[in-house]
Amino acid sequence: METLSTKAELSAWLAQGSAGPRVLVPTMGALHRGHASLLDIAAAEAGRIGGEVVATLFVNPIQFGPNEDYDAYPRPLADDLETCRACGVAAVFAPPADEIYAPDRSVSVTESSLSRRLCGASRPGHFDGVCTVVAKLFHLLSPAAAVFGEKDYQQLAVIRRLVRDLDFPVRILAGPTVREQDGLALSSRNAYLRPEERAQAPILNEALRAAARAYRRAGGCGDAGAAAAQFGKVFARATLARLDYFETVHADTLEPLGSGSEGHARFLAAAFFGATRLIDNVGEEG
């Protein structure tokens, strides 16, 4: 496995010729079983198309807000490289921030529809940072496909729109959310939870699944009001949490769904457990 830390090293590696089409897994490192599942999906796709897997380990500074955890974000490079090696990754691109962004950078990629609400409302500029770095990685690596997790569902929808609107020749593959036994979605930020917060954190997923059941029970196209009421009833048990948002949205457009709305529903929520912000989502099936 090659480990590359500069654009020059990446360019030289690409110029040597590769085993075939590249399947990209962009990450910010601190890899866990959820990331490993994305690498496994990439390996299966690479095998299908006769290609190879490339992963990136890059904590992207421009998607963090001024009061967020960029400096504290975990960066266990040696462990991450071992995970990539075990998953059969051909090359890892792990650049420092100043390798990706010039100090006087003045161009970015902006998404103005899907990112207006949900996490975009409470994290202004976040998805512009995501779109910008992903566009740069697509340009630098020219992958045939890229894998993103459904756990960050709004991000997945934004990336799909980025590819559609800017005509990137990249197929976007979605990996299902990987969870702990108690239902908590795996996240690098789970390590920040205090024991008592960790004990309550699975209620977020429990409440989302309860909302999905209420929506289905309403019949027809469902009832977003019933979903919200049931979510609130269950989430109230998380006494250490502060809700950021809960929304019933169209799975593709992320626009709100109401009573009798048409389209597949997705239920998304974000909540603070102490200082740690967790996100989760489920589909209609719960």
Instruction: Give residue 40's pLDDT.
Output: 98
Same domain, 123 and 201: no
Instruction: Give residue 221's pLDDT.
Output: 65
Q: What CA–CA distance (Å, rounded) separates 83 from 101?
A: 27
Final residue before a domain boundary, out of 175, 204, 236: 175
pLDDT in tens, the chain (286 residues): 999 999 999 999 999 876 789 999 999 999 999 999 999 999 999 999 999 999 999 999 999 998 888 998 999 999 999 999 999 999 999 999 999 999 999 999 999 999 999 999 999 999 999 999 999 999 999 999 999 999 999 999 999 999 999 999 999 999 999 999 999 999 999 999 999 999 999 999 999 999 999 998 887 567 889 999 999 999 999 999 999 999 999 999 999 987 555 678 999 999 999 999 999 999 998 7
Give the domain CATH number at 83: 3.40.50.620
Same domain, 163 and 204: no
**Candidate list 32, 35, 139, 264, residue with the active-site label:** 35
Same domain, 6 and 93: yes
- For the entire predicted model, the pTM comes to 0.94
Instruction: Give residue 202's pLDDT.
Output: 98
Same domain, 199 and 142: no
Final residue before a domain boundary, out of 129, 144, 175: 175
Give the domain CATH number at 276: 3.30.1300.10
Instruction: Give residue 261's pLDDT.
Output: 56
Same domain, 50 and 6: yes
The two tokens of residue 104 are: 């006087």
Q: What CA–CA distance (Å, rounded) separates 70 from 246?
A: 25
- Number of structural domains the chain divides into: 2
Final residue before a domain boundary, out of 121, 147, 175: 175
Q: What CA–CA distance (Å, rounded) separates 68 from 30?
A: 17
Domain membership flag for residue 182? no
User: 126 an active-site residue?
Assistant: no
- Whether the CA torsion 162, 143, 29, 200 is positive or negative: it is positive
Domain that holds residue 83: 2-175
Instruction: Give residue 260's pLDDT.
Output: 54
Domain membership flag for residue 181? no
Instruction: Give residue 220's pLDDT.
Output: 53
Cβ of 83: how many Cβ atoms within 10 Å?
A: 22
Same domain, 20 and 153: yes
Same domain, 158 and 46: yes
